[in-house]
Amino acid sequence: MGRTRSQENGEQQQVPANSAAASGLATRYATAIFELAEQHGELDAVASDLEGLRRMFAGSQDLQRLTVNPSLSRGDEEKAMAALSEAASFSALTRNFLGVLASHRRLHSLDSIAQAFVTRLAEQRGQVQARVVTASPLPAKDLAALKSSLAAYAGKTVDLDVAVDPSLLGGLVVTMGSRMIDASLKSKLKGLELSMRGVG
């Protein structure tokens, strides 16, 4: 089998071996950028930049491929992030941080890092970060009702992080920290399927 360009340069893509390692990695990077942003009084600016990045990556297959393409060198990734940061008018702190991620081949963890950052910011402000995944976009009034219900459940102000996953057969999945508050129709059907097979 032929060697990839990154292998020839000794720059293999390093992906954490398991979810625990990936979570720890994201937390370390999120903590680093959070503390820097806090020192410079730029928590809101960086949070906005990271949320913008998540939306960009979610809506672009080209950007998604950028994070897992082993043929790209560190320099290629750094240039791509610099161009993206310039076009999006990100803060200098965010630009430098993306450069660090690219130079360390950690762009594949960007979504997890952004999530960890937003979660920590919410916790510092006495809020709870709730991840909501729906099969189709929810109307604003439904989101408001959901936010109110979750706030009553948590006893704190809730900051919603909403995503759409068409692969869900219906319903929604709500996660607050490590707690899954609700289950999608898909997971219920999966549970029924396993039960019929005598599993669980």
Q: Are residues 108 and 141 in the same domain?
A: no
Q: Are residues 79 and 98 in the same domain?
A: yes
Q: Which band of pLDDT confidence, cut at 50, 70 and 90, is reported for residue 45?
A: very high
What domain range includes position 77? 19-118
CA distances from 70 to 9, 40, 178 (A): 11, 35, 32
Residue 9 lies in a domain: no
Q: Which CATH number characterizes residue 34's domain? A: 1.10.520.20
Q: What's the number of CA atoms in the CB half-sphere (13 Å) around residue 18?
A: 1
The residue-averaged pLDDT of 74-99 equals: 94
Residue 5 lies in a domain: no
Report the predicted TM-score, pTM, of the whole model to 2 decimal places: 0.65
pLDDT of residue 177: 65
Residue 14 lies in a domain: no
Q: Which of 56, 90, 118 is the last residue of a domain?
A: 118
Q: Which band of pLDDT confidence, cut at 50, 70 and 90, is reported for residue 89?
A: very high
Q: Does residue 96 contact residue 45 with C-beta atoms inside 8 Å?
A: no
As a whole number of Å, the end-to-end CA separation of the chain is: 42
The residue-averaged pLDDT of 1-26 equals: 50
Q: Are residues 45 and 106 in the same domain?
A: yes
The residue behind tokens 């960009």 is: 56
Q: Which residues contact residue 11 at a Cβ distance below 8 angstroms, ignoring those fewer than 6 apart? A: 73, 74, 105
pLDDT of residue 106: 92
- Is a pLDDT exceeding 60 seen at residue 62? yes
The residue-averaged pLDDT of 152-166 equals: 84
pLDDT of residue 6: 40
pLDDT of residue 11: 40
Q: Are residues 57 and 114 in the same domain?
A: yes
Give the number of domains in the chain. 2
The two tokens of residue 38 are 């806090």
Q: Are residues 65 and 145 in the same domain?
A: no
pLDDT of residue 182: 56
Q: Are residues 153 and 86 in the same domain?
A: no
Q: Which band of pLDDT confidence, cut at 50, 70 and 90, is reported for residue 135?
A: confident
Residue 83 lies in a domain: yes
Q: Which residues contact residue 114 at a Cβ distance below 8 angstroms, ignoring those fewer than 6 apart? A: 30, 50, 51, 53, 54
Residue burial 108-137, b: 16+ Cβ < 10 Å; e: rest = bbbbbbbbbbbbbbbeeeebbbbbbbbbee
